[in-house]
Amino acid sequence: MNSIPVDKLRLRLLGDPILAAKARPVEQITEETHRISEAMLRIMYDSHGIGLAGNQVGLLQRIVTIHVEPPTDEDGNELPVESPGERELLPKMPITLINPEIISKSEALCPFDEGCLSVPDIYARVTRSASVVLKSTLLDGTEFILECGGLLARVVQHELDHLDGVVFVQKVDPDAYPAISRRVDKLIKRNGPRGFKVRRLV
Looking at the chain, how many residues does it have? 202
CB atoms within 10 A of CB 151: 18
Give the C-alpha distances (Å, rounded to integers) separating 83 from 93, 134, 156, 200: 16, 12, 14, 31
Q: Which element (helix H / strand E) includes 154? A: helix 150-163
Contact 66, 159 (CB under 8 A): yes
Which residues are paired to 98 by β-bridges?
63, 137
Pick from 75, 67, 68, 57: nearest CA to 21: 57
Give dist(CA 128, CA 107) in Å, integer.
9
R_g of the chain computed on alpha carbons: 17
Q: Is 69 a catalytic residue?
A: no
What residues are labeled active site? 159
